[in-house]
Amino acid sequence: MNPGACRSVPVSYSLTGSWTIAGAITFVEPVVNTVAHYFFDRWWNRREDSGEIVAA
């Protein structure tokens, strides 16, 4: 079992009171994070390539 699931199931259940919804959140959340990370990386790489980043 994913260590993140060990935390997310009880937290989701305590917030919703439903094991079904808690389970759905546990499986959907990593998918959403993966998709968001993909698009963030694309944005970040375009930003680096365009020279928008100014070194401090």
pTM: 0.62
Higher pLDDT, 56 or 45: 45
Instruction: For residue 23, count other CB atoms closer than 10 A to its CB.
Output: 15
The answer on pLDDT for 56 being more than 60 is no
Residue by residue, DSSP assigns 1-56 as --HHHHHHHHHHHHHHS-HHHHHHHHHHHHHHHHHHHHHHHHHHHHHHHHT-----
Encode pLDDT of 4-55 as tens digits: 678 889 999 999 999 999 999 999 998 999 999 999 999 999 988 887 766 6
